[in-house]
Amino acid sequence: MRTLKDLDPRGKRVLVRVDYNVPLKEGVVQDETRILESLPTLRHLLEGGASLVLLSHLGRPKGPDPKYSLAPVAEALRRHLPSARFVPHAPGSEEAFREVQGLTPGEVVLLENVRFEPGEEKNDPDLSARYARLGEAFVLDAFGSAHRAHASVVGVARLLPAYAGFLMEKEVRALSRLLENPERPYAVVLGGAKVSDKIGVIESLLPRIDRLLVGGAMAFTFLKALGKEVGGSLVEEDRLDLARSLLRRAEELGVEVHLPEDVVAAERIEAGVPTRVFPAGAIPSPYMGLDIGPRTREAFAAALRGVRTAFWNGPMGVFEVPPFDEGTLSVGRALAALEGAFTVVGGGDSVAAVNRLGLKDRFSHVSTGGGASLEFLEKGTLPGVEVLK
Ligand SMILES: Nc1ncnc2c1ncn2[C@@H]1O[C@H](COP(=O)(O)OP(=O)(O)OP(=O)(O)O)[C@@H](O)[C@H]1O
Ligand SMILES: O=C(O)[C@H](O)COP(=O)(O)O
């Protein structure tokens, strides 16, 4: 990839695509990680004498919608970069174009949500051309969006001299280490809702790893595929054959697969509901497994001991509803306790767990990408990486 080393920003207006798709609650940013992670690139460009025009998406609006305005994000950004100012115009508009004309070195403008533009997700060439008028060089630092071949990610990158920002570089370097000569033993921990979201990454990683630990709702599709009684737990009925074939493949490759031995179950997903622990293969309806149980937490911690490389994506249970967050937190602790290992975590809930435990610094890399990190591990590249080559 072309990187910031290749760009002399002095006197240039630089268009920077960041990923400020951050969680908001009542107009307040709940987690600033993605904002903080963009600062090294922004400060480097400013110190080098550039003015900056920032582009980002937020959420998945269907056209302009004040609920998805980047205004609250700009407020959070200003706490770290006081020179930043929000310009509430769609980034492809004439108003936005006019607004950025007079920018002088040191000035920073964040334009409105790129997904307010109908052509953004279609990678419309006309929209890309209107974005390209906003700057003289383009820096892609939105690793979390680098799997989207959208106008503000790849379209505009083809029209301007384009470079990877520091965050892009850091993410690609760390995730590449999970694919190229990883130290063994190598363990992967997967959780979350659906096997179907993780098929690609499982297929790509199986030949490289020694242990696969599966929790979250996706474990029930594997358990059911093995003929276990999973009660009312979430199962992808149309993926049972696939789950069986992934298990067969793991066996052929000599990968140890660890599925839950016991689960914390309840009749409904609700904070404070009465819970019971059942063996994972004998959950009576209408109970559903909502977290890995205490024996599984120990077994998973034991399976992680001694590993030299580990990747974790996806919560072990319904992380957002306590007490079903306990299993996820315990996996976070077990990974953080590994000494000298190369450990990477990616994905919203798993990263939130690490942050809640205050153990971020105990991981070698905490990815700002959920879907992007999975797709990178599946394919070894991303549209946003290819376009910078
Ligand atoms: N046992 C379970 N039953 C029902 N839902 C579950 C269970 N375990 C986990 N989930 C749900 O899975 C969802 C997260 O799954 P997802 O596949 O999106 O995770 P992820 O890859 O970490 O992605 P994200 O980046 O969105 O967190 C959470 O909303 C969680 O409540
Ligand atoms: O949060 C993310 O994973 C990225 O910002 C991409 O968002 P998207 O899935 O809506 O494209």
Answer whether residue 103 shows pLDDT above 90.
yes
Do residues 18 and 134 both lie within one domain?
yes
- Asked if 289 and 316 touch (Cβ cutoff 8 Å), the reply is no
For the beta carbon of residue 116, count every other beta carbon within 10 angstroms: 24
Do residues 187 and 160 both lie within one domain?
no
DSSP H stretches of helix in the chain = 33-47, 71-80, 94-101, 125-132, 166-177, 199-205, 218-225, 240-253, 294-304, 326-336, 348-356, 371-379, 383-386
pLDDT digits (tens, 9 = 90+) for 286-327: 999 999 999 999 999 999 999 999 999 999 999 999 999 999
**Domain contains 385:** no
Annotated binding site for substrate: 19-21, 34, 57-60, 115, 148
Q: How far is the CA of 193 from the centre of ligand 1 (A)?
A: 4
Do residues 363 and 311 both lie within one domain?
yes
Cβ 314 under 6 angstroms from ligand 1:
yes
The total domain count for the chain is 2
Nearest Cα residue to atom 9 of ligand 2: 371
* Residue 371: active-site member: yes
Tell me whether strands 108-111 and 84-87 are parallel, antiparallel or unpaired: parallel
pLDDT digits (tens, 9 = 90+) for 220-256: 999 999 999 999 999 999 999 999 999 999 999 999 9
- Measured between its terminal Cα atoms, the distance across the chain in Å is 4
Nearest Cα residue to atom 6 of ligand 2: 145
Buried b (16+ CB within 10 A) or exposed e, 38-54: beebbebbbebebbbbb
Q: Quick one: which of 195, 309, 189, 210 has its CA closest to 243?
A: 195
Q: How far is the CA of 59 from the centre of ligand 2 (A)?
A: 7
- Candidate from 224, 318, 329 with most ligand 1 atoms within 8 A of CB, to mutate: 318
Q: Which two tokens stand for residue 359?
A: 């153990």
pLDDT digits (tens, 9 = 90+) for 33-63: 999 999 999 999 999 999 999 999 999 999 9
* Residue 194: active-site member: yes
Do residues 100 and 216 both lie within one domain?
no
pLDDT digits (tens, 9 = 90+) for 69-91: 999 999 999 999 999 999 999 99
- Candidate from 18, 57, 145, 153 with most ligand 2 atoms within 8 A of CB, to mutate: 145
Do residues 157 and 87 both lie within one domain?
yes
Do residues 40 and 14 both lie within one domain?
yes
- Which single residue is written with the structure tokens 């997967």? 190
**Domain contains 207:** yes
- Candidate from 188, 312, 349, 351 with most ligand 1 atoms within 8 A of CB, to mutate: 349
Answer whether residue 348 shows pLDDT above 90.
no
**From 34, 130, 208, 239, the catalytic residue:** 34
Q: How far is the CA of 144 from the centre of ligand 2 (A)?
A: 6
How far apart, in whole angstroms, are the C-alpha atoms of residue 286 and residue 295? Answer: 22
DSSP symbol at 84: E
Q: How far is the CA of 53 from the centre of ligand 2 (A)?
A: 21
CATH number of domain containing 296: 3.40.50.1260
- Asked if 136 and 14 touch (Cβ cutoff 8 Å), the reply is yes
- Domain ranges, residue 321: 178-379
Do residues 153 and 72 both lie within one domain?
yes
**Domain contains 389:** no
Cβ 60 under 6 angstroms from ligand 2:
yes
- pTM, entire model: 0.95
Cβ 21 under 6 angstroms from ligand 2:
yes
**Domain contains 388:** no
User: Would you tell me the crossing angle of helices 218-225 and 240-253 to the nearest 10 degrees?
Assistant: 80
Single residue among 113, 139, 169 that ends a domain in this structure: 169
Do residues 222 and 323 both lie within one domain?
yes
Q: Which amino acid is at 174?
A: A
* Residue 348: active-site member: yes
Do residues 187 and 243 both lie within one domain?
yes
Do residues 71 and 206 both lie within one domain?
no
For the chain, give the mean pLDDT.
Answer: 97
Cβ 191 under 6 angstroms from ligand 2:
no
pLDDT digits (tens, 9 = 90+) for 199-221: 999 999 999 999 999 999 999 99
> Which stretch of DSSP H or E encloses residue 25?
strand 24-25
Cβ 313 under 6 angstroms from ligand 1:
yes
Do residues 134 and 213 both lie within one domain?
no
For the beta carbon of residue 352, count every other beta carbon within 10 angstroms: 20
Kindly list the strands in the beta sheet with 13-17, ordered across the sheet, starting from the edge strand earlier in the chain: 84-87, 108-111, 51-55, 13-17, 137-140, 162-164
pLDDT digits (tens, 9 = 90+) for 117-153: 999 999 999 999 999 999 999 999 999 999 999 999 9
Do residues 143 and 182 both lie within one domain?
no
Answer whether residue 349 shows pLDDT above 90.
no
pLDDT band at 347 (very low <50, low <70, confident <90, very high): confident
Tell me whether strands 24-25 and 13-17 are parallel, antiparallel or unpaired: unpaired
